Structure 1
Amino acid sequence: MQLLSYTKSIYHLYSRLGGKRFLFLVRSKVLKFFFEKKRTDINLFPETIGNAEYALWLRKYFPRESDCEGMKDVCKILSYKPLVSIITPVYNPPIPFFKAAIDSVLAQVYENWELCLADDASTDTEIKNIIETYRKKDSRIKVIYRNKNGHISDASNSALSIAKGEFVALLDQDDLLTKDALFQNILALNKNRSIDMIYSDEDKITEDGKLFSPFFKPDWSQESYLSRNYTCHFSLYRKKIIDRIKGFRKGLEGSQDYDLMLRFSEKTDRIYHIPKILYHWRTHINSTSLNAGAKSYAAVAGERALVEALERRKEKGIVEPVPGYAGNFNIRYSLKNNPKVSIVIPSRNQSAFLEKCLNSIFAKSSYQNIEVVLVDNGTDEKKAISLIHHWKEKEPDRFLWLEYDIPFNFSKLINYGCENASGEYLIILNNDTEIISPDWVESLLSQAQREKTGAVGCMLLYSDETIQHAGVILGVGGIANHSMLGEYCESTKHYCYLKLTNNVSAVTGACFMISKKKFKKVGGLDENFAVSYNDIDFCLKLGKLGYRNLYLPYVRIFHYESKSRGSDVSPEKKIRLERESKMMEEKWKEVIDKDPYYNPNLSRSKFDFSLNV
């Protein structure tokens, strides 16, 4: 009956107005509806500043109120609801920011929490009034008042002393949690109760509440973490391990959380990453979020935390701060001995490239215990043959010429060269490269000698000093592609990625080092991959056995692969590429779909860590 009534009303309106006026009215009402809806939708999302891409991302992924209501329903049926103690040291915070921080805790979808405040003898008397007002408002808010200011480590430990939760989470006095921050952590724990530590992605928030600078992080990456404290916010820890390592250490103020995580990760590897923005890091004039130099002692403390981590782990090395970028480091490990390194180079003709490559190796390399193993795939160019004889005579003990005239198969050439190499370590190197860094061999070796290190790659540059390789990302632009391809080598995009040592799923076969023992352990390169993906497959085999592949920023080599080289579209080669691509997809689908070292919120089509919008 109601439908009939609506139909009659519409018919009468149509009869009175006529066809054109009726359609105009309908169109205007529809547009008004969508305009009002769009305007309402905009108000549902936080404002951003300086990044239109992030604004689009927030509209796509930021939880709406309806999402939060749904999360509350999920909370009711969770089988595991541990108490979470949120630890917040307090000292004279800006009052509006402090209130906002506490309010963000009160707004949590997951309700089994306690907020443990430790006032570090604030001189602003209003702070105590605010704390007491909130305590009366919610019994889950606890406080300990310190008689003497002891700085953030002591204050954090005081907050820990009143914490009763199975897990503790860290919140700075002027930052904000998203409403679903605790919920997402507890949801992860319900799926896997053995997790000991969880961290999330984060962004920054201005004094007037605008969001910017999202940091979408990789899954747990041990060597990446030794270059910077990327877990930071939002982080949740199993309290019994925090107690075992005795909480925060005095003297590491400014990087006390970095030091905590370094020690925590020495006790467990059950570390989980939630690829969601769950934390807004406040920026103001004295915050490290806005300017790492605002607290220069933080960078000094970070360096000390790393030095002491190396000592505890019984690894000798030097912690090198990245000049101009406080809080970022590279570790240069000491060589354990002076092993022989074999540099395996597959080659056929291309005398100009080969001459430049060999000249740079023998003239520039500061590490002397090397041999070059040239795997000659049927050279018939007179100049190239003459060049090979030249080096054979000049470096009789360090130059080995292996003739291997077979139909081109990169994997077979490399395997043959490695079988005949006498070195304890192997460098696989293209013949169209030129060494830039004199200490390239020892730098690669310092990482390759470590027990859990797999393949060690480096920064490869085009002749115009733009990036040809800085590690490989899986599932971007197809099976895999080189991260930061085409970027200027000094770019600081994605939090100084190019300047830091990073864990990666794979490195290019144009240059990497591996111990001969590990090379043999995974069976060398798979000869079914004659041309494409053999290097990626090799690295993934290493990863499957628990070895970690690395990109090193301080080893630089020119790679004269043509930037404008077209696609390989000859029928025979196209069939071969399709076959090898299919083999990769069948063998490594899971990791291609989700590269653990590449955040799923980042682009699947661009190589510069742009957002997936």
Structure 2
Amino acid sequence: MSEEVLTKPIATRQASQSPSLCGAITGLYGDVLQGWALDNAQQEQRLVVEIMIDGACVALTRADQFQPNAEVGDQFHGFAVQLRQGWLDGAKHISARVANQDFGLAGDLQLPARPSKDPAPVASRVWHSGGLRLSGWSWDPDAPLRHVEVVVREGDRVLARAPCDIHHHALAERPTSDHGFSIDLPWELADGEVHTLHIENDLGDPLSGSPIKMCCWPEGIEGLLRQHDNQGPDEQTMALLTQIAREQALHLPKSAGFHHYAQWFEVFQHTPPRNTLPLKSRIGVLLISEGDMTLEGLSLASLRGHRATPLKVARASVDNLLPEIKELLEAGCDCIVPIRAGDHFAARALDHLIGLIGEGVAWGYADCDRDGPQGERTLPWLKPVWDVDLFIGADIFTPGAVFGADIVQAALSVLAPANELHTLNWDFLIAGIVLATERLQANVAHLPQVVYHRHHQSAASPELAWPSMDRHQAIAWLCQSMAPGTTVSALPNYPALLRARWPLPLTLPRVSLIVPTRDQVRLLRTCIEGLLNNTDYPHLEIIVVDNQSTDPEALEYLRYLPTQGVKVLSHPFPFNYSAINNRAVEHATGEIIGLVNNDIEIIEAGWLKEMLSQLLRENVGAVGAKLLWPNRMVQHGGVVVGINGLAAHAGNNLEENDAGYLATNQLTRRQSAVTAACLLVRKSVYEELGGLDEKAFPVAFNDVDFCLRIQTSGLNLVWTAFAKLIHAESASRGKDVSLEKRARAHREQQGFIERWSLHGKIDPHYHPSLSHDYLSGPYGGLRMPASCLRNRA
């Protein structure tokens, strides 16, 4: 059946008589059924509607959505239900009725509505979100990957345009859900007059819900300020504004969008440097050039204004840096600062950079950004603490770096122990420095401040760089030197990014996977069958912990599992996630423990080998996986500690194949914490740290607390982008909505804050000047105000 949009019902049946109920199906838009239902006698109630396909109930929905064209009620009696394509295939009749009432909605639909050879209209919906904002979604069934553009006009005047390219929950069951839009209208419409707005797609068709009539006045702080455009607010108004701002600060994002970066840079990125090297120290500047004199001049001009320290500049060819590096070392330079021709330093950048050396630090780096077309500041690379795993995937660290002479000399030694090195390109130089850093366990410092500006033609983000065979070869050499048998490959979707596959031992260790469950047999069966049949690992022990299941079908399945080699333990006590896993670990016979939620679904056979290969590396304490919601949006891309004073998952606004900020959604990297929904840890480490905290964190924050204790012990936490699983978050346990659950959640939150003293502290694997508020989320914007704290690995 072709996907249709029906603006009017094509068949209508007589609704059952009712003195007060009314409603209708208004159309099927693609695979989204819409309509409304209302009880005129009790208009404040929101009715529940049953959706029927060929007489069978397939969905229940509450009629509580905004209906802009409603002629009765308060306009919040609409509904929209996404129907699975499998339900619609071959279907003949769609109807709806008020649940538990003998009242059928008008507007039954007969399917198919038109021959499938006709082009399917663009499916869409638009509504007034309040104030000066319109929201909605639109997608083209004939080109489902295309991003439709919508236009808002009043009469012949175009007010706004927007691409439909953001995630929208109404399309969550579709293969692609990034067809939503949100439009902020011009301020002049907030004049108290009625405005009729027409919203159309790029084919000239009106969106369902258009036209929209709206009337609003300037509201909030901006509305108050606009009343004083010609002169500042008086003292009384200013006092009111201050009080409102203080109250709203508790609920609104405490960050600025990345599009404000140029202004943010001017306000927050001009702090004075902290110099620690004596004035007699000699700085070597390594200018890496392809011979363009104009670009070289731009870079050299930015050297002016540094402190009165001897400075030596050496121009080097991109193909061979070795002669100039030796020249700088032989000239007695204490440190070497590389710069690519066309890039330039910020004011007093050298003073900032050399301030990183001299505190027991082998080398250091600061943040960088890129010149815009007119030289404006754009695209900041705000970097985490030094992370060799992230570096292997993409080098975000060295633009804006300074290397002590000793670590450069050590790099030359590891590259050619017999001093027979004849040529040296940039990528092998950096690989040598990294290998020397790892072998010497040298300190690397990070100054979270933008002091280096990349040329406007350089890559906006690491995944957009031109693939480099030199870097591929250098990283392969580095990984082989760190762990013989490691292979390195480019990512298929992002060939500039690299993946290291670390070797596994010939004799694989036994892995005990612990799966807590209560009822929810459908979820459990999917999880266990995936572990048994779709996981490529020979030495598995699966332990299912039954926490008071009562569903007969679930109990029958639990009795069946031992016949498949699955160990089933009973935990007949109130739910305590920490206690459940701790008891199971006591019964586990594997040297590796895997914590696995019962709502995990296996989608790639090699997930466990990938996680294990990371865990068995030196100084790795635990490993987390990339977890996806069923619609392939990212549910867990690592945990950032300190968001809103607590912790938050990264990547929740990304699809699995999106690059993310600085490509971090596609790269293995170190984190302060990962989720226990799928976590691998050595049993010895688990036991040494006392497992999960049963008393302080029976339900929430136990995994983050456990990971922070691992980190405190000196071990690293690794999140791998290459072990992907489906996770239907909290599908089994549910959300904390009851008063008792909310009180318990509050206690755990407070206990987590008090134990780890998070106020004012920064997750080292997250930049201190990136958003730390809950609404913006990790990587959601720029912190207000910025924080400039020095990090060291």
Contact 2:288 2:338 in 1 (8 A): no
Residue of structure 1 in register with 2:293 after alignment: 95
Q: Point out where structure 2 has 5 or more consecutive residues left out of the alignment.
A: 1-228, 234-256, 416-420, 785-793
Counterparts of 1:542 and 1:564 in 2: how far apart (Å)? 27
Distance 1:250 1:181, change over 3 A: farther
Per-residue CA deviations over 1:349-378 (Å, capped at 9, x if unaligned) read 111111111111112111121011011111
Residue of structure 2 in register with 1:489 after alignment: 656
- SS for the counterpart of 1:549 is strand
Contact 1:282 1:289 in 2 (8 A): no
Counterparts of 1:290 and 1:436 in 2: how far apart (Å)? 29
Question: Between Structure 1 and Structure 2, how many residues are aligned?
Answer: 522
Per-residue CA deviations over 1:315-366 (Å, capped at 9, x if unaligned) read 4321121224344212111111211111101111111111111111112111
Superposed counterparts of 1:379-394, under 5 Å: 379-393=549-563
Counterparts of 1:335 and 1:101 in 2: how far apart (Å)? 46
- Determine if the alignment matches structure 1 residue 59 to structure 2 residue 231: no
Counterparts of 1:371 and 1:292 in 2: how far apart (Å)? 39
Counterparts of 1:294 and 1:172 in 2: how far apart (Å)? 15
Per-residue CA deviations over 1:104-134 (Å, capped at 9, x if unaligned) read 11122x33141322365xxxxxxxxxxxxxx
Residue of structure 2 in register with 1:523 after alignment: 690
Contact 1:153 1:256 in 2 (8 A): no
- Determine if the alignment matches structure 1 residue 169 to structure 2 residue 337: yes
Contact 1:255 1:302 in 2 (8 A): yes
Residue of structure 2 in register with 1:373 after alignment: 543
Structure 2 counterpart of 1:509, from 656, 676, 679: 676
Counterparts of 2:759 and 2:686 in 1: how far apart (Å)? 21
Distance 1:105 1:330, change over 3 A: same
Counterparts of 1:540 and 1:294 in 2: how far apart (Å)? 34
Distance 1:575 1:250, change over 3 A: farther
TM-score by structure 1 length?
Answer: 0.79
Aligned residue identity for 1:343: L
Counterparts of 1:565 and 1:55 in 2: how far apart (Å)? 45
Greater RCO between the two (CA within 8 Å, min separation 6)? 1
Aligned residue identity for 1:358: I
- SS for the counterpart of 1:106 is coil
Aligned residue identity for 2:313: C
Residue of structure 1 in register with 2:491 after alignment: 322
Aligned residue identity for 1:583: G
Counterparts of 1:552 and 1:346 in 2: how far apart (Å)? 23
Q: Point out where structure 1 has 5 or more consecutive residues left out of the alignment.
A: 1-26, 32-49, 121-149
- SS for the counterpart of 1:307 is helix
Contact 1:90 1:155 in 2 (8 A): no
How much has 1:455 moved relative to structure 2?
1.3
Per mean C-alpha deviation after superposition, the further-off stretch among 550-559 and 255-264 is: 255-264
- Determine if the alignment matches structure 1 residue 310 to structure 2 residue 479: yes
Residue of structure 1 in register with 2:470 after alignment: 301
Residue of structure 1 in register with 2:390 after alignment: 224
Counterparts of 1:228 and 1:292 in 2: how far apart (Å)? 8
Superposed counterparts of 1:105-124, under 5 Å: 105-108=303-306, 110-118=307-315
- Determine if the alignment matches structure 1 residue 548 to structure 2 residue 721: no
Contact 1:474 1:593 in 2 (8 A): no
Aligned residue identity for 1:281: R
- SS for the counterpart of 1:557 is strand
How much has 1:185 moved relative to structure 2?
3.0
How much has 1:210 moved relative to structure 2?
3.0
How much has 1:592 moved relative to structure 2?
7.5
Aligned residue identity for 1:87: V
Structure 2 counterpart of 1:450, from 617, 636, 642: 617
Counterparts of 2:609 and 2:760 in 1: how far apart (Å)? 32
Superposed counterparts of 1:210-609, under 5 Å: 210-246=376-412, 253-266=425-438, 267-284=440-457, 296=467, 299-336=468-505, 337-393=507-563, 395-396=564-565, 399-528=566-695, 529-561=697-729, 568-590=736-758, 593-605=761-773, 606-609=776-779
Superposed counterparts of 1:17-56, under 5 Å: 52-56=259-263
Per mean C-alpha deviation after superposition, the further-off stretch among 253-262 and 437-446 is: 253-262
Contact 2:509 2:592 in 1 (8 A): yes
Counterparts of 1:107 and 1:209 in 2: how far apart (Å)? 19
Superposed counterparts of 1:200-211, under 5 Å: 200-206=366-372, 208-211=374-377
How much has 1:467 moved relative to structure 2?
0.9
How much has 1:477 moved relative to structure 2?
3.2
- Determine if the alignment matches structure 1 residue 199 to structure 2 residue 365: yes
- SS for the counterpart of 2:340 is coil
Aligned residue identity for 2:636: H
Contact 2:517 2:732 in 1 (8 A): no
How much has 1:434 moved relative to structure 2?
0.6
Contact 2:279 2:308 in 1 (8 A): no
Counterparts of 2:231 and 2:585 in 1: how far apart (Å)? 74
Contact 1:275 1:600 in 2 (8 A): yes
Counterparts of 1:535 and 1:290 in 2: how far apart (Å)? 32
Counterparts of 1:487 and 1:30 in 2: how far apart (Å)? 42
Counterparts of 1:107 and 1:335 in 2: how far apart (Å)? 52
TM-score by structure 2 length?
Answer: 0.62
How much has 1:101 moved relative to structure 2?
1.2
Counterparts of 1:421 and 1:340 in 2: how far apart (Å)? 10
Per-residue CA deviations over 1:194-232 (Å, capped at 9, x if unaligned) read 112110111122564233221011011222222221211
Superposed counterparts of 1:126-141, under 5 Å: none
Contact 1:341 1:423 in 2 (8 A): yes
Counterparts of 1:518 and 1:352 in 2: how far apart (Å)? 33
Aligned residue identity for 2:667: L
Contact 1:252 1:259 in 2 (8 A): no
Contact 2:673 2:707 in 1 (8 A): yes
Aligned residue identity for 1:374: V
Distance 1:87 1:155, change over 3 A: farther
Per-residue CA deviations over 1:423-469 (Å, capped at 9, x if unaligned) read 11111010111111111111111111123111111111111110110
Distance 1:91 1:168, change over 3 A: closer
Per-residue CA deviations over 1:144-184 (Å, capped at 9, x if unaligned) read xxxxxx83323542542454222221122321011131222
How much has 1:294 moved relative to structure 2?
7.6
Counterparts of 2:265 and 2:280 in 1: how far apart (Å)? 30
- SS for the counterpart of 2:361 is coil
Counterparts of 2:461 and 2:534 in 1: how far apart (Å)? 41
Per mean C-alpha deviation after superposition, the further-off stretch among 52-61 and 338-347 is: 52-61
- SS for the counterpart of 1:484 is coil
- Determine if the alignment matches structure 1 residue 185 to structure 2 residue 353: yes
Bigger helix fraction: 1
Counterparts of 1:219 and 1:556 in 2: how far apart (Å)? 25
- SS for the counterpart of 2:412 is coil
Distance 1:181 1:260, change over 3 A: farther
Contact 2:636 2:651 in 1 (8 A): yes
Aligned residue identity for 1:483: A
Aligned residue identity for 1:360: G
Distance 1:178 1:512, change over 3 A: same
How much has 1:288 moved relative to structure 2?
6.2
- SS for the counterpart of 1:477 is helix
Distance 1:515 1:482, change over 3 A: same
Aligned residue identity for 2:749: S
Residue of structure 2 in register with 1:16 after alignment: none
